[in-house]
Amino acid sequence: MRVRMSAAGDDQGELRIGGWLPPAEPVETDADAQVTQVIPAVRDEQRPPRPVPTHGPDGETVEEPKRRGRRTAVAVAVSVATVAVAVGIPLLMSASDQPKPPDQRVLPAPSAITVSDWPEPSATPTGRPSRPPASRGAVRGAEHATRPPATNRPTDNAAPPPKTTVTLEAEAADLDGWASTRRVDSASGGMVVTRIGYRRSKLTFSTPAVAAAGDYDVVVSYVSDEQRQAEVEVNGRDAGRFEFGSSGGWESVKTMTVRLPLAAGPNIIEFSNSDGWAPDLDRITLTY
C-alpha cells in the first residue's frame, strides 16, 4: 500500500507502508489510483495544544498526571545531591590539610599541700586574709632592706674650712745684688726694699708649706712714684711679667693682687726686672 502526503506550500511526498522493495520506477495501475489518497500534512506549530481533562465523566475533579510530579521530585533530588557534593568536597579537602595534633601527655599532679603548712590568716582593715609568706628569693619590703652605712657628707650649711693667711716682710726676705732697704714710715715695719732690677739684683720670698697645689692670690704691697714692671718666678719657673702703677709717691704704699701657681708644700717666689728698675717692695700676703 502506498500513501501520498502533502502539505500546503510543500512538495508532495510519499509514505510507503509494507515490506521493503528495491527501488524501481513505480508503475501506477488503476487499482493503485483508487487506493491512493492525498492527506494534508499538519505542522507542529499549527497543532492546537492537547487539552488536559480536569473533570471526569461524572464531574469529579481529576488531578494532573503524576508523571509531572515525579519529574519535579527527581529534579529537586538531583539539585540537592549536586549542592551536597559541591559543599562536601572542599570540606573534606580542608579536613585533610589540617596538621596532626601533637601528642597530649598527662603530667603528674603536684604534691598536695596540707592546711597545716599555711599560717593562720590574720584580719586586715579591709577584711581580706593576709597573703602566705613569701618563698626564698622573693622581694622583701623596704623595712627588710639592708641600708648602706652612713657616710660623712658635707651639708650646705657646713662652714668652710678655715684659711691661713701668711704675711712675709720684704726686709726679712733674701736680698741679692744691689737690693737694699730704706726707711718708709707708711710701710709695714717702717722699711721697704729698693734697687731691684737691671739683672743685678732680686728679692726672694720663702713661703710656708701650702696644703694643696693650685693658683693662689698673692697681695703685693709696693711703693713707686712712676709706673714700673716686675718679673715673677715661682719655684724657678716664669710666672709672668706684671705692671705696677704709681702708688702716689715714694712715701705712699699701694697694694696689687697677682695670681701665682703654687705647689703643695713650701714655695720660692722671686721678684726681678731685666729691663729696668722694679718698684720698691714692702711685703706680700698669701692666703691658703
Q: Grid coordinates representing 282? A: 714692702
Please give the pLDDT value at position 148. 56
Of the candidates 219, 221, 216, the residue with the CA atom closest to the CA atom of residue 262: 216
Helices (H) and strands (E) in the chain, counts: 2, 14
User: How many residues are present in the chain?
Assistant: 288
Going residue by residue through the chain (288 aa), what tens digit of pLDDT does each one get? 444 554 445 455 454 545 555 555 555 555 554 544 555 554 555 555 555 555 555 555 555 544 555 677 777 777 777 777 676 666 666 666 666 655 556 566 655 555 455 555 554 445 555 555 554 544 455 455 556 565 566 555 666 777 899 999 999 999 999 999 999 999 999 999 999 999 899 999 999 999 999 999 999 999 999 999 999 999 999 999 999 999 999 999 999 999 999 999 999 999 999 999 999 999 999 999
What pairing do the DSSP bridges indicate for beta strands 38-40 and 2-6?
Answer: parallel
What pairing do the DSSP bridges indicate for beta strands 280-287 and 174-177?
Answer: unpaired
Please give the pLDDT value at position 170. 98
Please give the pLDDT value at position 49. 56
CB count within 10 Å of CB 105 equals 5
Side-chain half-sphere CA neighbours of 61 within 13 A: 2
Q: Which three-class secondary structure state does DSSP give residue 34?
A: helix
Q: Grid coordinates representing 39? A: 492527506
Helix or strand run (H / E) with residue 174: strand 174-177
Please give the pLDDT value at position 137. 47
Please give the pLDDT value at position 87. 67
